[in-house]
Amino acid sequence: MKEINITTSFTIFENLNELPKEIQNLMNQAIEIRKKAYAPYSKFRVGAALLLDNGKVILGSNQENAAYPSGLCAERTAIFYAGSAYPEAKILKMAITAASDTNQTTAPIPPCGSCRQSIAEYEIKQETPIEIYFMGEIGEVYKSSSLKNLLPLMFDKKFL
């Protein structure tokens, strides 16, 4: 029997104002699109903003549906749009923010498992890490230098 240890590393910013200006701008766009989320069932709104290597910023918010699980998370809304509209562009950075209509979210909220797997697909495809910044409604912002920090044992095409 063997045991492996996997470690991950994150940079923690105390608040939005501590982020570099470029990332503050990206996160502010994620906050604005979060407000437009369609979340009548969960009352949990998520916004995502992607910076592409062509300079474009792609926005996405979660879109729910009464026929669960037919809705789509903000991260996948944005990443799939980027993949269809700009298939040759690389995703450099992703900013994610989440807020509840019923209570204030103060802890950083990372992407769900399905979103992690979708982000992994694009990170592997483009062979370039995607910086991921995530936060709640207020408070600390976590930075991951790659999706691999969030999903170290990822499933990808090499297993097929």
DSSP single-letter state for residue 156: -
DSSP single-letter state for residue 45: E
Report whether 82 belongs to an annotated binding site.
no
Q: Where are the alpha helices (DSSP H) in the chain?
A: 21-34, 74-85, 113-126
Report whether 54 belongs to an annotated binding site.
no
Report whether 30 belongs to an annotated binding site.
no
- Main-chain phi, psi angles of 42, to 5 degrees: -85, -25
Strand partners, 160: none
Closest residue by Cα to residue 51 from 99, 97, 89, 15: 89
Report whether 99 belongs to an annotated binding site.
no
Report whether 104 belongs to an annotated binding site.
no
Report whether 68 belongs to an annotated binding site.
yes
Please say whether the beta carbons of 96 and 74 come within 8 A: yes
22 carries an active-site annotation: no
Report whether 121 belongs to an annotated binding site.
no
Secondary structure (3-state) at 76: helix
Secondary structure (3-state) at 59: strand
* Catalytic annotation, pick one of 3, 18, 75, 127: 75
Report whether 32 belongs to an annotated binding site.
no
Binding-site annotation: residue ranges for Zn(2+):
73, 112, 115
Binding-site annotation: residue ranges for substrate:
62-68
Give catalytic residue positions.
Answer: 75
Binding-site annotation: residue ranges:
62-68, 73, 112, 115
